[in-house]
């Protein structure tokens, strides 16, 4: 027994050493990085991209370089709440005030609360909230859970297959290993056709993370209990808590987080403010900005 344990311990050590070596290889392959790209590509980030591509350095490099290009043009870290707040008025996507049992942040999605028909607006709003969840990850935690409530869902309120595909592409390609599980709670029968069309775009790894949950199904109920404290969980998901979305209060919290985001990425929240002879948004976060904005 002792021998077995030692062998498994050694095996784990070998795995870790091999993974560290792969991280070093990927970093070397990426070459020189600066500014936000350097900030983004910490070791944990490199590991996630390697994990997503089964530890193949070449494929991981390609994937990561595509993400860096996307981040340079889309600038997800520059989106501010006031730009997307109108998308969130109904609470169709919001950050829960509780975590799952593993301490992961939870995003609550309510497609029945869809309030705009702007595909780009919907995507930017979701990207903002994913970035926000990543910013607020607890120490040692890299993933988030999604709870999707289908109350009031109809094909009229649903996003198009094209928008869903765009969201899936962003999530899979630019936020690898960020989604722990997505719980689809009580989806109606009309959702099945949409799901068939959308599932085609999911890679097998992501597909396994999607769980269909039905309130009268014993396994579903057990699954929710396994991952969530029923006392914290809103009644919409079979729990005992009340889900109340207060747009004003949520906006206040997001505005506070915007300051945190600006600090993390090394630029001031007011891009028009001049810092060191440049616009604040253009100041590279690495190393530390030489001059601080004058209040």
Q: For residues 129 and 107, what is the distance between their CA atoms, to the nearest angstrom? A: 8
The residue whose two tokens read 């591509």 is 53
pLDDT at 288 over 70: no
**Can you give the pLDDT at residue 73?**
97
Q: Across the chain, how many H-helices and E-strands are there?
A: 11, 7
263 in a structural domain: no
28 and 117, same domain (yes or no): no
103 and 195, same domain (yes or no): yes
69 and 84, same domain (yes or no): no
The predicted-structure confidence for 73-87, as pLDDT tens digits, reads as follows 999 999 999 999 999
288 in a structural domain: no
Sequence-distant (6+) residues with CB within 8 A of 283 are: 266, 267, 268, 275, 276, 289
pLDDT at 7 over 70: no
End position of a domain, from candidates 74, 92, 112 = 74
Sequence-distant (6+) residues with CB within 8 A of 213 are: 183, 184, 185, 186, 220, 223, 224, 237, 238
264 in a structural domain: no
255 in a structural domain: no
Q: In the predicted model, what is the mean pLDDT of residues 171-190? A: 96
233 neighbors 224 (Cβ within 8 angstroms): yes
The predicted-structure confidence for 13-68, as pLDDT tens digits, reads as follows 778 899 999 999 999 999 999 999 999 999 999 999 999 999 999 999 999 999 99
Give me the number of domains the chain comprises. 2
End position of a domain, from candidates 50, 74, 98 = 74
181 in a structural domain: yes
**Can you give the pLDDT at residue 275?**
31
85 and 98, same domain (yes or no): yes
**Residue 21's CATH number:** 1.10.8
pLDDT at 110 over 80: yes
203 in a structural domain: yes
172 and 89, same domain (yes or no): yes
**Can you give the pLDDT at residue 154?**
84
Q: In the predicted model, what is the mean pLDDT of residues 210-237? A: 96
Q: Is 81 exposed, middle or buried (0-12, 13-18, 19+ CB in 10 A)?
A: buried
Given pLDDT bands bounded at 50, 70 and 90, which one contains residue 11?
A: low
Nearest residue to 243 via CA among 125, 56, 70, 106: 106
270 in a structural domain: no
**Can you give the pLDDT at residue 285?**
37
R_g over Cα of the chain: 21
Choose the weakest-confidence range: 8-12, 64-68, 71-75, 261-265: 8-12
Q: For residues 170 and 187, what is the distance between their CA atoms, to the nearest angstrom? A: 23
First to last CA, the chain: 65
123 in a structural domain: yes
128 and 195, same domain (yes or no): yes
135 and 155, same domain (yes or no): yes
Q: In the predicted model, what is the mean pLDDT of residues 215-222? A: 95
230 neighbors 221 (Cβ within 8 angstroms): no
Q: For residues 133 and 106, what is the distance between their CA atoms, to the nearest angstrom? A: 8
Among 63-67, 261-265, 268-272, the range of highest mean pLDDT: 63-67
157 and 116, same domain (yes or no): yes
28 and 95, same domain (yes or no): no
The predicted-structure confidence for 140-156, as pLDDT tens digits, reads as follows 899 999 999 998 888 77
End position of a domain, from candidates 74, 105, 132 = 74
- Token pair of 198, please? 């959308």
85 neighbors 132 (Cβ within 8 angstroms): no
25 and 168, same domain (yes or no): no
| Mean pLDDT score of the chain | 88
Given pLDDT bands bounded at 50, 70 and 90, which one contains residue 98?
A: very high
Nearest residue to 67 via CA among 77, 79, 80, 81: 77
Domain that residue 181 falls in:
79-250
Q: For residues 233 and 267, what is the distance between their CA atoms, to the nearest angstrom? A: 37
137 neighbors 105 (Cβ within 8 angstroms): yes
153 and 232, same domain (yes or no): yes
**Can you give the pLDDT at residue 184?**
96
167 and 123, same domain (yes or no): yes
Q: For residues 282 and 98, what is the distance between their CA atoms, to the nearest angstrom? A: 35
**Residue 134's CATH number:** 3.40.525.10
């Amino acid at each position: 027994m002792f021998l077995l344990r030692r062998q498994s311990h050694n095996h784990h050590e070998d795995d870790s050493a091999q993974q560290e070596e792969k991280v070093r290889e990927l970093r070397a392959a990426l070459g020189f990085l600066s500014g936000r790209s350097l900030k983004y590509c910490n070791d944990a980030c490199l590991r996630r991209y390697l994990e997503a591509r089964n530890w193949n350095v070449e494929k991981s490099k390609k994937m990561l370089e595509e993400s860096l290009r996307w981040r340079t043009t889309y600038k997800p870290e520059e989106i501010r709440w006031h730009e997307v707040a109108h998308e969130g008025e109904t609470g169709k996507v919001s950050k829960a005030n509780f975590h799952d049992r593993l301490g992961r942040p939870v995003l609550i999605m309510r497609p029945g609360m869809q309030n705009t028909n702007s595909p780009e607006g919907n995507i930017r709003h979701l990207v903002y909230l994913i970035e926000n969840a990543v910013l607020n990850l607890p120490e040692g935690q890299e993933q988030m859970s999604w709870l999707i409530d289908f109350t009031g869902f109809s094909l009229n309120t649903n996003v198009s297959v094209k928008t869903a595909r765009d969201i899936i592409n962003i999530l899979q390609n630019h936020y690898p290993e960020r989604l722990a599980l997505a719980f689809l709670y009580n989806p109606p029968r009309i959702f099945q056709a949409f799901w068939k069309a959308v599932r085609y775009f999911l890679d097998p790894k992501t597909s396994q993370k999607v769980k269909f949950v039905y309130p009268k199904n014993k396994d579903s109920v057990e699954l929710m209990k396994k991952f969530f404290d029923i006392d914290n969980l809103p009644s919409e998901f079979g729990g005992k808590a009340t889900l109340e979305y207060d747009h004003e209060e949520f906006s206040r919290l997001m505005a506070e987080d915007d300051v945190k985001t600006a600090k993390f990425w090394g630029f001031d929240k007011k891009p028009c403010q001049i810092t060191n002879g440049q616009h604040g948004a253009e100041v590279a976060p690495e190393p530390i900005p030489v001059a601080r904005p004058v209040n």
